[in-house]
A and B are shown apart, each in its own frame.
Chain A
Amino acid sequence: MSKPIQKLVDNLPTNNLTVSMLRSLDFVIPGQWQNVTGFENTIRVVTGETDEGLIQQIGERAIYLYNDRSQGYQRAMWLYQTVDSTDVALGTAALANKIGERVPLLGFLNRLTPKADKAQTIDLSLKLVAELVAFCYINGIPGDSIGDFVASLADYSSESLMRMVALVCVDGLIPLGPDFILKAQSVLNDTNPKELEKNATFQRISDVIPGVTSLNKLLFIGESFDSVKGWMSGLVSSRNLTPQKVVNNLQQTIEVADDKLDYLAAFLDVATNYYEHTGTQTLARRLIERAVAEI
């Protein structure tokens, strides 16, 4: 049995490396994301209600909805967690999380290997597909509705928008460079189903990616990437985003040398879980919005 939703939201950290990283990306979408934590607090923030009796009713309904597996919320949560699961065995990284202070990167370098462009591209596009599928689970839209998802990206706000911004910055611009969209697309075109099957994240989430064979799934991944690239390049150009700009802002949190960007990407991969963090917030918000409308 997975963890109760109220515990997941209660346990969201108020300050760790993930939170600091997301805060340092605030310059992309100023004031959009607040780190809302705690189940009851989230109910108050999302609904604007203050009556304790109402908060109790909303919370109870949200918990009922989450625990009913036919509603798809648990699957969405699982996706956010799985796509982000990182090697937390790095004891020092765990301690760094606890402390939430500036982290000098140098100490980690000898334990990390930057991912190859292909692995990084697969990682980026799998996160994108996970977002799409989770969106469909949460909002009740059929699982292969790329069109519905792309249309609603324009309406993304708060933690959902921050998740996509972090995806573009941390899994796109930093590891793959300023032309990451073109690069990722050409790498994807050059990837065969066998290579995809070797990817650990794909092995875990392949069941929820539309398509019967690995080839079908690979084509769906390519199609999803293709549909979202317009949105991503719009974000990059409208905010004038460059790897350098992102790193300059991240340097408030992490001390890193400019020629070590590949290592920075690898470090953020192991030491942060922004997908799970903001995914939990998105899910809680949608559950609470439904619960308050139903009671």
Chain B
Amino acid sequence: MIFPNARRILVAFLLSMLLFVTACQPQASSRFDQVQETSSQQKSGQAVANATQGSSFNPFFPAASRGYERVYTQEKKGFAEAKLKKDGKDLALMAISDTRSLPTAAAKFKNTTKQIVGYPAVEIGNTQTAVLVADRYQVKVLSRDASFTASDREALLKQFDYQGLAKLQ
């Protein structure tokens, strides 16, 4: 507090040095630069073309039973998602999405031989199993706890109402 002016000058100097030094750093290019450019060319509507409303997917999720809880979390155009919980712990995520928004999502089922209740199915990565219904709707179960295994995912996937979902237009 003896030299308030000197201290103020020092702070101003340090701040301007900070600006100067950071401004000189070259911006590293990122693996997401390309998609940032293409995805921001349009203001709105680029992520969800002609998709079914998420609310119409809700009735086709498995009902909660035997101590398991179903909590709906997101409901957007072309997408609905719910959590499967037990004793307050998240075990898995369940989602239905309209692949009209993302045709590559449907393409991955083309060469699969796996089936669940007669529908083409695939396992993806460490945590996901998916089914394609009526060549259009993707139903996915994603493990959110190590105790929830691939066979648990498959068992849960068998409980969706696929006939109802297939009739949805």
Contact = CB atoms under 8 A, between A and B. Distances in A.
Given A63-B39, A65-B47, A292 B32 contact: no
Contacts of B44: 68-70
Contacts of B54: 140
A6 B105 contact: no
A148 to B, nearest CB: 9
Interface in A39-92: 39, 47-51, 54, 56, 59-61, 63-65, 67-71, 91-92
A142 to B, nearest CB: 10
B92 to A, nearest CB: 11
A294 interface: yes
A139 B142 CA distance: 18
A289 B81 contact: yes
Interface in A88-104: 91-92, 94-95, 98
Given A63-B36, A67-B40, A139-B75, A294 B101 contact: yes
B74 A70 contact: no
B52 interface: no
Contacts of A292: 128, 142
Residue among B14, B30, B83, B97 having the largest count of chain A Cβ atoms under 10 Å? B30
Interface in B2-17: 11-12, 14-15
A248 to B, nearest CB: 29
A207 interface: no
B116 interface: no
Contact of A293 (B46, B79, B90): B79
Nearest to A59: B32
A194 to B, nearest CB: 36
A1 interface: yes
A95 B76 contact: no
A30 to B, nearest CB: 15
Interface residues on A, range: 35 or more
A289 B11 contact: no
B18 to A, nearest CB: 8
A212 interface: no
A64 B11 contact: no
A179 B47 CA distance: 46
B79 A290 contact: yes
A91 B12 CA distance: 8
Given A48-B127, A67-B46, A293 B15 contact: no
A9 to B, nearest CB: 11
A50 B32 CA distance: 17
Interface of A: 1, 4, 6, 39, 47-51, 54, 56, 59-61, 63-65, 67-71, 91-92, 94-95, 98, 138-141, 152, 155, 157, 286, 289-290, 292-295
29 contacts: A1-B40, A4-B32, A4-B40, A6-B32, A47-B127, A48-B126, A48-B144, A49-B125, A50-B126, A59-B31, A60-B32, A60-B35, A63-B36, A68-B44, A70-B48, A92-B11, A95-B11, A95-B14, A98-B18, A139-B75, A139-B76, A140-B74, A152-B71, A152-B73, A289-B73, A289-B81, A290-B76, A292-B128, A294-B138
Q: Which 6 pairs from chain A and chain B are nearest by CB?
A: A293-B95, A68-B47, A140-B76, A70-B44, A69-B44, A67-B39
Interface of B: 11-12, 14-15, 18, 30-32, 35-36, 39-40, 42-48, 54, 71, 73-77, 79, 81, 83, 90, 93, 95, 97, 101-102, 104-105, 124-128, 138, 140, 142-144
